[in-house]
Amino acid sequence: MLLVTLTDSFHCPVHHLARVRKAHPISISRGVRTKASDLSNLPKQARFSRKDGRPIYDPKSYQEICSHACQSVLDGLGDGLCLMEVEFPAVPGEDASYKAASDVYINLNIQYALTIFNRVYRETGKICEILLPDGPEYRRAGELFTSSVELSEGCTLNTLDGKKTENINVFIGNVARGRGLRPKLEETEEAKGSEADLYAIVNISTVDIPVAEDFCMHKANGKPIVFLNNELDTLRADLGLFSFPKKDLHYRFLSKVKPVYYLRTRAYSRTITVSPFVLNYSGAIFREYPAPWQVMVKQNTGELVCVAEDEDRFTLGEAKEEMLVALGLADKDDSPMKFLRSGYKTNTWWEAEDDREQSDAWRT
C-alpha cells in the first residue's frame, strides 16, 4: 500500500474517497481519488493523455517546471484562451514567502518568463512582450537581463503602464505627495508601439491590477495575456482593504483569468492524542491544463501523489480536508472537533460563489 510519511517515525496509509461535484466514469483519470494499486501498475508520472491528471508529480528542476508550464500555455493558446495564469513557487525553501518580497523573487520571475516564452516562440513563432509594473522596474530589468533578453529569441521587455521614464518635476511631485520613489501613471516617455503576439505580466502588486485591467481592455487588442507568478490569490485577499482596489475587481476581471499551470504548495500540522502528538503534513493544489484540478499529498521522497481530482477548482479548505481524509486524519462530519478545528467558515470571500462573478474561468 502506498504510504505518505508525515514524520520520520509515523506513517499513514492513503485512503480513497471521491469528491463528488460532477459525474464522471469511474477511472484513474476522472472523478475518483487515485488508488495505490492503480499507481503501482504505471510508470511514475504516467498518464494516458494531457487531459488526464498526473498520478504522481515529481519535477526534478525548475527547468522541468518551466517546460510543463510552457506546454500548458501552448495548449491554452491552441484553445483560444486570452487570459491565463501560470503560478508555481518561484523561490525554493521554507522561507519562500519571505523571499517573495525580495530581489531574488523578482529576478527569478523575469528569468522564468524568458525561459517559458522563448520556448513558446520556438514552438509557435509568437513574440512575447514581458511587462514589468513600471519604469523603475523596467530599467532595472534592462540592466540586469540585457544578455538574457538578447539570448532569449522572441522575448522583449516593456512596462505595463506604457511609460518608461519620468521627468524631474514628476519625481519631486511623487515624493511630496508621499508616493515614494515608485511612479505610477505620470511618467513622460511613452513606450513605443508593440509588435508582440502575446504578453506576460510579472511582479505586479495589488495596486497594479487596475493597470493590468486597463491594458487588457485598451492596449492588448485581444492578444493573449499570461499572468506569471504574480500570486493572484494573495492579491485577491488584499482587495477591499483600506487604500486597495475594491473587491469588484475580482468579480469583473480576475475571475476571467484561467489558471493553465498552477502549483500551490501548503504545509499544515495536526494534533493527535498519541505520540508524536503533532503531525506535520504538506501537499499542493495542482492544475496542468487541460487536465483537471488535483489535490496532491507530499511524501518523504518529495513526490506529490494525487489523492483527489475535479473539473472545478478546490478551495483551500477543501484541499486541506482532502489531504486529511487521504491520510486518515479527518474528523467525522458530526464530530464537535471538526467544527472546533475548522470553524464556521472554511473558505475565503473570493472562493465563495457569487452572482457578481462575470466568469467562472478562474475556477475551471
More confident residue, 102 or 259: 259
In degrees and rounded to multiples of 5, residue 129 shows phi and psi of -105, 120
Residue 298 C-alpha cell reads as 507530499
8-12, 39-43, 157-161, 165-169 — which is least confidently predicted? 8-12
The answer to whether 88 touches 230, Cβ cutoff 8 Å, is: no
Q: How far apart are CA 332 and CA 105, in angstroms?
A: 41
Which residues partner with 228 through β-bridges?
86, 202
Mean pLDDT value across residues 287-316: 95
Residue with the bigger pLDDT between 294 and 46: it is 294
* pLDDT of 269: 84
Predicted pLDDT of residue 330: 67
What is the dihedral sign for C-alpha 192, 198, 203, 208?
Answer: positive
pLDDT tens for residues 81-107?
Answer: 999 999 999 887 655 555 555 888 999
User: Would you say residue 29 has pLDDT above 50?
Assistant: no
Q: Indicate the range of 8-17, 55-64, 152-161, 281-290 predicted with least confidence.
A: 8-17
As a whole number, mean pLDDT of residues 44-66 equals 88
The answer to whether the beta carbons of residues 151 and 208 sit under 8 Å apart is: no
Average pLDDT over residues 72-89: 97
Q: Examine the pLDDT at 31 and tell me if it is beyond 60.
A: no
pLDDT of 24 > 80? The answer is: no
**Backbone φ and ψ of 114, nearest 5°:** -60, -40
Confidence of residue 35 (pLDDT cuts 50, 70, 90): very low
Residue of 127 and 31 predicted with greater confidence:
127
pLDDT of residue 222: 94
* Of 233, 227, 232, 262, residue with least CA distance to 53: 262
pLDDT at 257 over 70: yes
Read off the pLDDT of residues 110-125 as tens digits, 9 standing for 90 and up. Answer: 999 999 999 999 999 9
pLDDT band at residue 46, thresholds of 50, 70 and 90?
Answer: low
Give yes or no for residue 74 having a pLDDT over 60: yes
pLDDT tens column, 157-192 = 999 988 876 555 555 565 555 555 554 444 444 445
Q: Tell me what pLDDT residue 49 has.
A: 85
Separation of first and last alpha carbons in the chain: 32
Higher pLDDT pick, 180 / 39: 180
Tally of residues, the chain: 364
Given a cut of 70, whether residue 19 has pLDDT beyond it is no
Can you state the angle between helices 62-78 and 103-124, rounded to 10 degrees?
50
Main-chain phi, psi angles of 49, to 5 degrees: -155, 175
Higher per-residue confidence, 241 vs 187: 241
Q: What is the pLDDT of residue 328?
A: 84
- pLDDT value of position 158: 95
Return the biggest CA–CA distance within the chain.
69
pTM: 0.81
Kindly report the average pLDDT of the chain as a whole number: 81
pLDDT, tens digit, 9 for 90 and up, residues 123-144? 999 999 999 999 999 999 999 9
